[in-house]
Amino acid sequence: MEPQLELLPPEILEAQSAFAERLSACADLDALLRMKGAYVGREGSHAARLMELLKTAPKEQKRDLGAAINALKNAWEEALKTRQAELEATKKAIPAEDATLPPPRPPEGALHPLQRLMDRLVEAFRPLGYHVEEGPEVETEEHNFDGLNIPADHPARGSSDTFYFSARPDLLLRTHTSPVQVRVLKRYGTKNAAGVSLLEEKGGLRFLAPGRVYRKDEIDPTHSPMFHQVEGMLVAKGIGMQHLKGTLAYAMKALFGPGADVRFRPSYFPFVEPGCEMDVRCPLCGGSGCRVCKGSGWVEILGAGLIHPKVLEHAGIDPTVWSGFAFGMGVERTAMMVSQSPDLRLFFENDQRFLAQMGGLD
């Protein structure tokens, strides 16, 4: 429908006749925005004036006048929009500066690769209901050895393997993250005033314990007196090897991707029975055999097993009711394997070039 322009006041008609010329005269977006304000802005514009006019118009004119106003306003808005798009396109086409000049960049830091790997493990286990437990580096023999069924004459307890403190010979630097097991199991095994333990109250326990551990190894390309482990543990009722296998296979797929293939071999650790080691299909050669996997196609990645009944008993948990599994993974070993880093010392030297390359941001 053609707008019935004759119903409109002369100043509007004038504005309308100048519209096209003024529109093309808008050289930039600022000018266009000003013109937009004058024609269709909320207050003081031609369109606003027309709306006021409509309010005071005689009843019989309202319908036609309204239609005319709407048509005019729509036409203006449409044309302004088109021109705005044109101007924006032009603006982009004109280089305001040399875009090939290196721009200021925000600084880039990085998480340590060992931290990233530990975080990834936590991430892999969170959907299975695991939380994170922490424990101190300075530990007691009870937590580090006794509670883990490690006999009093075990060589690992010797001062050639374990760091002890001179002023406090009863304290040592933990040699693994397994003392966190003892601490958490004791907390969950302790009965409250009503005779109910936290384990009974909650019905189960699942956690990871990432952390720093110490062994008296000389510093060389494959040894370090400090390294990291991630401990994991699950306690519930009726837990067997099948669950251990299923859980770790799941986690390795979360860590290494859906194609991750694992195998379990019998092994021995005093705090589990049965014990096992888990290998993953060599990530370097895919199983055909290489230097990293010593030709076997498999790389050992962690030790695990069902919690030894004596470990549960030590914490006051009845092993005829509760059972579970535990595992411990060497973080550096896995980080070196995955990254094919040639020297363990790189991880503790903290060269920013290494950290930038290996760490990145998650």
Partner 1 sequence: MQIILSQLQRELPTAGLTQAQALERLPMLGFPIDGVATVEGETVLDVDVTANRPDVMSHRGLARDLAATLGAELAALPTTTLGGAPQREIRLETPACPTYSTAVLTLGATQATPADVQTFLRALGMTPKGLAAVDASNELLHRYGHPTHAFDADKLQGAIRVRFAQAGETLVTLDGVDRKLTPEDLIIADDSGPIAFAGVMGGESTKVTETTRTVLLESAWFDPKVVRPMARRHNLHTDGSHRFGRGADPVMAAVVRDLLAQRLIEWAGATVLSAWTVGAVPARAAAITLPLTQLNRIAGETVDAAEAETLLARLGCEVSRSATTVTAVPPTWRHDLTLPEDLAEEVLRLRGYDRIGSSLPAVDADPEPLSPSYRTAASLSRRLAHLGFFQTVTYGFIGPDEDAAFAAAGNPAEGRALGNPLGLEYSVMRASLLPSLKATALHNRRQGQKEVRLFEIAPAYPAGLEGKPSVALVWGGLRGGEDHLTASRAVLAADLRGVAQSLGFGSAPIQDLGDGLLGVEVALDTLAAPPERIIPRFQGFSRFPAVERDLSLVVDLGKPFGDLAAAMGGVLPQPELQHLGVVDVYRGKGMAPGKQALLVRFRFQHASRTLTSEEVEGWVQSALKAAEGVGATLRA
| Of residues 224-283, those binding partner 1 (CB under 8 A) | 225-226, 228, 234, 236, 238-247, 249-250, 263-268, 273-277
| Residue 204 found at the interface with partner 1 (CB under 8 A) | yes
| Residue 7 found at the interface with partner 1 (CB under 8 A) | no
Positions in 181-200 near partner 1 (CB under 8 A): none
Q: How many CB atoms lie within 10 A of CB 129?
A: 11
Closer of 49 and 250 to partner 1 (Cβ): 250
Positions in 276-335 near partner 1 (CB under 8 A): 276-277, 294, 296, 300, 306, 308-309, 323
Tokens encoding 330: 């060497």
Task: Give CA–CA dist 268/289, Å, rounded.
Answer: 26
- 213, 234, 251 from 179: Cα distances, Å: 10, 15, 22
| Residue 205 found at the interface with partner 1 (CB under 8 A) | yes
Output the smallest distance, CB 192 to partner 1, in A. 17
Longest CA–CA separation in the chain, Å: 110
Quick check: 206 and 233 in contact, CB under 8 A?
A: yes
Cis peptide before 342 (omega within 30 of 0): no
Closer of 84 and 115 to partner 1 (Cβ): 115
| Residue 166 found at the interface with partner 1 (CB under 8 A) | yes
Closer of 35 and 346 to partner 1 (Cβ): 346
Contact with partner 1 (CB under 8 A) among 13, 219, 220, 291: 219
Provide the residue type at 290 as one letter. C
| Residue 347 found at the interface with partner 1 (CB under 8 A) | yes
Positions in 35-94 near partner 1 (CB under 8 A): none
Positions in 121-140 near partner 1 (CB under 8 A): 128-134, 136-138
| Residue 120 found at the interface with partner 1 (CB under 8 A) | no
| Residue 22 found at the interface with partner 1 (CB under 8 A) | no
Output the smallest distance, CB 191 to partner 1, in A. 18
Going by the DSSP 8-state scheme, the letter that residue 126 receives in this structure is G
SS3 of residue 72 by DSSP:
helix
**Block residue for tokens 């936590």:** 122
Contact with partner 1 (CB under 8 A) among 10, 58, 95, 107: 107
| Residue 337 found at the interface with partner 1 (CB under 8 A) | no
Residue 208's nearest CA partner among 268, 279, 128, 290 is 128
Tokens encoding 73: 């306003």
Window of 31-39, 46-54, 189-197, 346-354 that interacts with partner 1 by CB under 8 A: 346-354
| Residue 9 found at the interface with partner 1 (CB under 8 A) | no
Closer of 22 and 112 to partner 1 (Cβ): 112
Closer of 26 and 278 to partner 1 (Cβ): 278
Going by the DSSP 8-state scheme, the letter that residue 37 receives in this structure is H
- φ and ψ at residue 299, rounded to 5 degrees: -125, 130
Output the smallest distance, CB 355 to partner 1, in A. 4
Closer of 128 and 292 to partner 1 (Cβ): 128
Output the smallest distance, CB 164 to partner 1, in A. 5
- The two beta strands, 298-307 and 272-281, are antiparallel
- 34, 301, 333, 339, 352 from 348: Cα distances, Å: 62, 21, 13, 15, 11
The terminus-to-terminus CA distance of the chain in angstroms comes to 60
Closer of 22 and 310 to partner 1 (Cβ): 310
Q: Is 117 left (phi over 0), alpha (psi -120 to 50) or beta?
A: alpha
| Residue 349 found at the interface with partner 1 (CB under 8 A) | yes
